[in-house]
Structure 1
Amino acid sequence: MTDTAIAWDTYARQRPERRPTNSRGESTWFNWTQYADHGPGAELLEAPAGGRVLDLGCGKGGNAAHLAALGMRAIGVDVSPRQLAAARERWGLVQGLELYQAEAVRFLREDRAGFDAVYSVYGAAWFTDPALLLPAVRERLRPGGRLVFSQRPSVEGCYGCQASYIPRGADEDPLVVKRWDHEPDAWERLLKEHGYTDVQAVVLPAPAGPRTTGTLIVQART
């Protein structure tokens, strides 16, 4: 197992399971943010019924399962065996859902069928060098296809490749993974430089209450 897979397996052990239902009583739903029942849904993808959609860093599979339940062909990719095992346990019987263990750029380079939309929710788009990921995604998006991803907004002054720390036991050093942070206008420039159009990057405010950290949502089209 690679160091990256070990890190995300460790992260998976620390994450709570998705609720059985959301506030509307739905057993599947799409969530771009770190807050429950907040923000837009799958409509951002603009994917047609029966469309082929790729989740980069699908984790435990809840968003991809929702798209499959809507009638799309949803492909989820993650490097963590533990994350994928949890996804298969909960969503393995959902028709139209496919799950693969792979690194994001390698999967994109090897899959030749193309996608109507590619997305990432606090996933591989945050933890992969955009110089590698953005051209690989564009190569696989069908004409008019959408790339949409969400992540935490950058901390002022901390841009480009940064370190994320995944805690372990009290007597163990944390595991380190790389992430890429940019302000919204920098993401827009990067995407345009890689040939994307209709580019928009905005920070969605946190829901009302004591929380202050919003969610960066980036959208673009081929």
Structure 2
Amino acid sequence: MTDTAIAWDTYSRQRPERRPVNARGDTTWFNWTQYPDHGPGAELLSLRPGGRALDLGCGKGGNAAHLATLGMRAVGIDISCAQLSAARERWAGAPGLELHQAEAVTFLQDSAETFDAMYSVYGALWFTDPAKLLPTVRERLRPGGRLVFSQRPPVEGCYGCQASYIPRGPDDDPLVVKRWDYEPDVWERVLVEHGYTDVRATVLAAPPGRRTVGTLIVSARA
């Protein structure tokens, strides 16, 4: 097991499970942000029933499972065995849902499949070098296919490759993974440079209350 996989297995054990139902009483739903019942949904992917979507860093599978219930062919990949075990336990038998343990760039390079949409919710697009990931994503997106991803906006002055720390026990040093933080206009420029079109990057404000950190949402077409 790689150090990265160990780090995300550790993270998985610290994350709460997705609620049984959301505020509307739905058992599945799509959530781009770090806040419950906030922001847009699966419509950002512009998918039709039967469309094929790839979740780059699916975690415990909630977003991919929701797409499957809408009639999509949803594929989720994650490097963490613990995340995938939780996803398989909760969403066992969901029609149209496939889950694979894989690193994003390797999966795309080894696959001959193409997809109508790919997405990342605080996932691989945040934690993989875009110079390596964006070209492989574009190669596996069908013409006009959409790439959408979300993550926290960057801390002012801290741009590019940054260290992200995953805590362990009180006597253990935290685990470290790399993440890539850019301002919206920089993400737009990076995507255009890699051949994407219809590029848009915006920060969705946090819901009213004490929390002030919004969500960066980026979309583009192949």
- Residue aligning to 1:217: 217
Equivalenced residue count is: 222
Deviation at 1:85, TM superposition (A): 0.1
Deviation at 1:48, TM superposition (A): 1.5
Runs of 4+ in 1 over 4 A off after TM superposition: none
- Residue aligning to 1:87: 87
Q: Secondary structure at the match of 2:187?
A: helix
- Residue aligning to 2:44: 44
In structure 1, C-alpha distance between the alignment counterparts of 2:167 and 2:26, rounded to whole Å: 33
Q: Which moved more, 1:207-216 or 1:104-113?
A: 104-113
Query: Does 1:59 pair with 2:59?
Result: yes
In structure 1, C-alpha distance between the alignment counterparts of 2:145 and 2:112, rounded to whole Å: 15
Deviation at 1:111, TM superposition (A): 1.4
Q: Secondary structure at the match of 1:162?
A: strand
Corresponding letter in the other structure for 1:112: A
Identity of aligned residues (%): 78
In structure 1, C-alpha distance between the alignment counterparts of 2:21 and 2:215, rounded to whole Å: 22
Equivalences for residues 163-182 of structure 1 within 5 A:
163-182=163-182
> What are structure 1's unaligned runs of at least 5 residues?
none
* CA offsets 1:153-208 (integer angstroms, 9 cap, x no match): 00111111000000000000000000000000000000000000000000000001
- Residue aligning to 1:11: 11
Deviation at 1:47, TM superposition (A): 1.1
Corresponding letter in the other structure for 1:140: R
Q: Secondary structure at the match of 1:126?
A: helix
> What are structure 2's unaligned runs of at least 5 residues?
none
Corresponding letter in the other structure for 1:153: P
Equivalences for residues 34-183 of structure 1 within 5 A:
34-183=34-183
- Residue aligning to 2:187: 187
In structure 1, C-alpha distance between the alignment counterparts of 2:158 and 2:72, rounded to whole Å: 37
In structure 1, C-alpha distance between the alignment counterparts of 2:113 and 2:125, rounded to whole Å: 20
In structure 1, C-alpha distance between the alignment counterparts of 2:208 and 2:38, rounded to whole Å: 10
RMSD: 0.4
Deviation at 1:113, TM superposition (A): 1.6
Q: Secondary structure at the match of 2:212?
A: coil
Q: Taking structure 2 as the reference length, what is the TM-score of the superposition? A: 1.00
- Residue aligning to 2:206: 206
Corresponding letter in the other structure for 2:107: F
In structure 2, C-alpha distance between the alignment counterparts of 1:101 and 1:149, rounded to whole Å: 20
In structure 2, C-alpha distance between the alignment counterparts of 1:218 and 1:106, rounded to whole Å: 23
